[in-house]
Amino acid sequence: MLPMKRPAPAPAGGKIFFPMAHAQPMTIPLDLTWVRSQFPSLAQSVNGQAAVFLDGPGGTQVPQRVIDAISGYLAHDNANTGGAYHTSRNTDRMIGEARSAMGDFLNCDADEVVIGANMTSLTYAMSMAIGRDLGPGDEIVVTLLDHDANFSPWKALEEKGVIVRAAKFNPVDCTLDMADLARQITNHTRLVAVGYASNAVGTINDVAEVVRLAREAGALSYIDAVHYAPHGLIDARALDCDFLACSTYKFFGPHMAVLYGKRAHLQRLVPYKLRPNTNSIPNCWEWGTLNHECIAGIKACVEYWEELGRRANPSAASRRAAIVAAHAAIHQHERVLMEKMIAGLTAIPGLKLYGIRDRQRFDERCATFAVRVDGQTPLELATKLGERGFFTWDGNYYAINVTEQLDVERSGGFLRIGLVHYNTAEEVERLLAALGEIVV
């Protein structure tokens, strides 16, 4: 049995619900010209129209320095780890630096950062390891608002007799039903898995409260921060969660992912691993040879965040302080875009916007919008928009419980419009104008 009955300390840093709570007073707004100049792919056009990347929730674009770091690694340091020669040593050093950069991004120590191919495989690796100690009589709580990557890996433990309970969400505003979640957590609960933000409808969950509820019951908390990471500051220490996973390709890095695990858990739990692999953390949690060139890209991605932050706050005293400032600038910018987008979308007749629409509650959502239009499928809409240079997504984007609960799964899911910090007010206006033409 897992030794989970721990005391329940108050969350460090007080209430840490929404990104606003992290925002420092901003004097320098986001330098959007500089931001966009960093991302070469943004300059593309489609059918003579400037491309508008509204597909951030599926994966963001990368700054030039990430591209350079990946090709630079392959040109100069391409080697496996642990060898007694120059390029291998450079690789070891670079991976250590990337880990410590991600430690600053998440606010944890470098040896608490596990690098993996993607969030899904990291979560399966962790569910298998945690599941070693679980069986009949143990329970796990998941939510119906989550991406399937924070659902199915835990559901898989039903094979061992574990009961997996799913907390509901409120279909009117697509927010987590916290009372239901609290009811599902019992003294049999061993783990609570929850998303920081919904990749389908943009809701930001009160994860600090979920972590508190889990801890109070003696259960572990596992946070899926994949969708939240490009929008809000992650502070693993202040959150005091046990695990938190995110994918670097959603916050301007390469196609990889990282998992924060509290050192004590990474040391105590037994990973499924190959025998010759080291027993030391975090390496014992990393399967096979990693994508070293992309790890070089992860380091460059954090350097991008750092530079963005130093431009927003030139007196930032550390890399972490710069990342905090970057998030504050991003939050301010995305908020303006979000207000414009929601005002525009809700003014289009026949268009239904899901999730929070009340301006007073915009701190509880990020700039990700799920919409449906009478008489047109999401795929038809995405195709028409795609021809005009707007890159949106259609379907369930693996948040299949959400589309099923809202009864849109059989009719094509949603059209998803996702904004990140490199999007502009002009792009929002263009999108709204195009939608206005397409919808009538």
Ligand X SMILES: Cc1ncc(COP(=O)(O)O)c(C=O)c1O
Least spacing, CB of residue 121 vs ligand X, in Å = 7
Q: Return the number of the residue (227 or 319) whose C-beta is nearest ligand X.
A: 227
Among residues 1, 3, 21, 28, the alpha carbon closest in space to that of 333 is found at 28
Reference 108, options 216, 244, 309, 248; nearest CA is 244
Phi, psi of 192 (to 5 degrees): -120, 120
Kind and range of the H or E element at 153? helix 152-155
Q: Which is nearer to ligand X, 118 or 277 (CB)?
A: 118
- Asked if residue 291 binds ligand X (CB under 6 A), the reply is no
Torsions phi, psi for 197 (to 5 deg): -145, 150
Of 149, 290, 330, 353, the one binding ligand X by CB under 6 A = 149
Which two structure tokens, joined as six digits, stand for 424? 């502009």
Considering the rule CB under 6 A, would residue 247 count as an interface residue with ligand X? yes
Residues paired with 353 in a beta bridge = 371
Does 147 sit near ligand X (CB under 6 A)?
yes
338 near ligand X (CB under 6 A): no
Smaller CB distance to ligand X: residue 227 or 333?
227
Smallest gap from Cβ 135 to ligand X, in A, equals 27
What distance in Å separates the CA atoms of residue 299 and residue 91, rounded to the nearest whole number?
Answer: 12
Q: How far is the CB of 145 from ligand X (least distance, A)?
A: 10
The answer to whether 271 and 140 are in contact (CB under 8 A) is no
Q: Are 120 and 145 in contact (CB under 8 A)?
A: no
Q: Within a 10 A sphere around the Cβ of 12, how many other Cβ atoms? A: 11
CB of 55 to ligand X, least distance (A): 11
Residue with smaller CB distance to ligand X, 399 or 438: 399
CB 378 within 8 A of CB 413: yes
| Cβ proximity to ligand X, 17 vs 124, nearer residue | 124
Shortest Cβ 411–ligand X spacing (Å)? 21
Are the CB atoms for 384 and 438 separated by under 8 Å?
yes
Whole-Å CA distances, 204 to 18, 234, 366: 7, 13, 7
Q: Tell me whether residue 147 or residue 311 sits nearer to ligand X (CB atom).
A: 147
- When computed from its CA atoms, the radius of gyration of the chain, rounded to whole angstroms, is 21
**Is residue 199 within the footprint of ligand X (CB under 6 A)?**
yes
Restricting to residues 361-390, which ones interact with ligand X according to CB under 6 A?
none
Task: State the binding string over 202-241 for ligand X (x if CB under 6 A, else -).
Answer: ----------------------x-xx--------------
Binding mask of the shown chain, residues 111 to 140, with x at each position contacting ligand X by CB under 6 A: -------xxx--------------------
Choose among 431, 95, 423: nearest CA to 252.
423
Cβ proximity to ligand X: between 55 and 138 the closer is: 55
Count interface residues toward ligand X (CB under 6 A).
13
H/E element holding 50? strand 49-50
DSSP at 309:
H
Nearer to ligand X, 246 or 408 (CB): 246
Q: In the stretch 162-181, what mask flags binding to ligand X with x, by CB under 6 A?
A: --------------------
> Between 241 and 322, whose beta carbon lies closer to ligand X?
241
Query: Helical H runs in 157-291?
Result: 178-184, 207-216, 236-239, 263-268
The angle subtended at Cα 311 by Cα 294 and Cα 34, nearest 5°, is 70
194 binds ligand X (CB under 6 A): no
| Alpha carbon distance 218, 189 (integer Å) | 8
Query: Site for ligand X (CB under 6 A): which residue of 56, 63, 195, 355?
Result: 195
CB of 199 to ligand X, least distance (A): 3
Least distance in angstroms from the C-beta of 117 to ligand X: 8
Closest to 391 (Cα-Cα) out of 340, 332, 434: 434
CB neighbours of residue 360 within 10 Å: 7
Rule CB under 6 A: which of 393-412 touch ligand X? 398
Q: Which two tokens stand for residue 229?
A: 């990471």
| 257 is a site residue for ligand X (CB under 6 A) | yes
309/378 with CB nearer ligand X: 378
Site map (CB under 6 A) of ligand X, residues 79-118, x = contact: ---------------------------------------x
Q: Residues interacting with ligand X, by CB under 6 A?
A: 118-120, 147, 149, 195, 199, 224, 226-227, 247, 257, 398
